[in-house]
Amino acid sequence: MNTLDKSNLRNVILEYPNQLKLGQKFAENLHLPKGSFSNLIICGMGGSALPGDLLSSYLQGISNFNLPIYVSRGYHLPKNADQDSLIFISSYSGNTEETLSCLEEAILLGSRNISFCAGGKLEQISKEKNIPVVKYSISFSDFQPRFAATYAFAAMQQVLTNIGLCSRIEKFPAIDSLSIENSGQTLAKKIKDHTPIIYASDKFKSLAKNWKIKINENAKTPAFWNYFPELNHNEMVGFTNPVSDFYIIFLKSENDQPEIRRRMDITRDLYQKKDIACHEIILKGGSYLEEFLFGLSFGDWVSYYLALEYGQDPTPVDMVEDFKKML
């Protein structure tokens, strides 16, 4: 273990993509009466909102799932929340201020609410109000919410299965995270001393966002993300006069629309003419979920080794903790 990695985050990354079955077990015994819902709303912040992004992208690709899905980051429920909403309240710590505020609104609204947490105030309030709780029983010390996304995704999907809104995932893809490690380390060395920007198709925009967040929190350095085709109508123009050392990473799927793949290629060529470094990663897998998990693992390794390149312990997020104390 690297001496900078005091919490052995490397081991967490090795196991991370394959922890879906355990997340599924967390929710297997939570059964609710089946009913009709107006929409699905997932409330969370930071790492606790990431499973909402993944779940939303996954469900939108399922033909038999017809509910509108909203991932809400903030103090308030979206305006389309009503008594018929199915609301997932997600906070790994159970103490996230914004998410607890959404819980209070959901209770007053009288919607169908389910809490997802490892404990804290969210568990306490939920039990007092007879709100079902999916509790994450994860025995890692210094475990960070950003690495609970696959647990939470699988747990949320299983709850939807229990309610009858979608089918159970019988076979999760097994990702060999170790085989991706060297590629992630190599890319981290290239990115060092650059500002990384991650691009993907609309289908994989939550993956690009995940890369950005992991680089921020693990490597403690700025990173940004965007998606096609939207970025071709605005952000691209900003590189007419690039005033920093950027490194553009394209997350590409062979299942992306041909029009999107063509946009990616043209954008890459335009950037390279401006001497902007670009790198393409082909997402490997036989399904959307497998491609997503491959990309997730790749991004984890890049952010992990970029942290080590900068002499940072990748696990703690001291600035976030200091900010919470100041609040």
Nearest alpha-carbon partner for 90 in 130, 57, 120, 128 = 120
User: Is residue 83 a contact partner of residue 37, using CB atoms and an 8 Å limit?
Assistant: no
Active site residue 217: yes
Q: Kindly name the residue from 98, 123, 181, 217 that is annotated as catalytic.
A: 217
Q: Kindly name the residue from 171, 233, 273, 325 that is annotated as catalytic.
A: 233
Nearest alpha-carbon partner for 194 in 243, 239, 246, 271 = 246
Active site residue 324: yes
Record the tokens describing residue 258, joined without a space: 């041909």
Q: Kindly name the residue from 76, 189, 274, 324 that is annotated as catalytic.
A: 324
Nearest alpha-carbon partner for 215 in 319, 305, 278 = 305
Active site residue 79: no
Residue 283 CA to residue 80 CA, distance in Å, equals 35
- Which residues carry out catalysis? 217, 233, 324
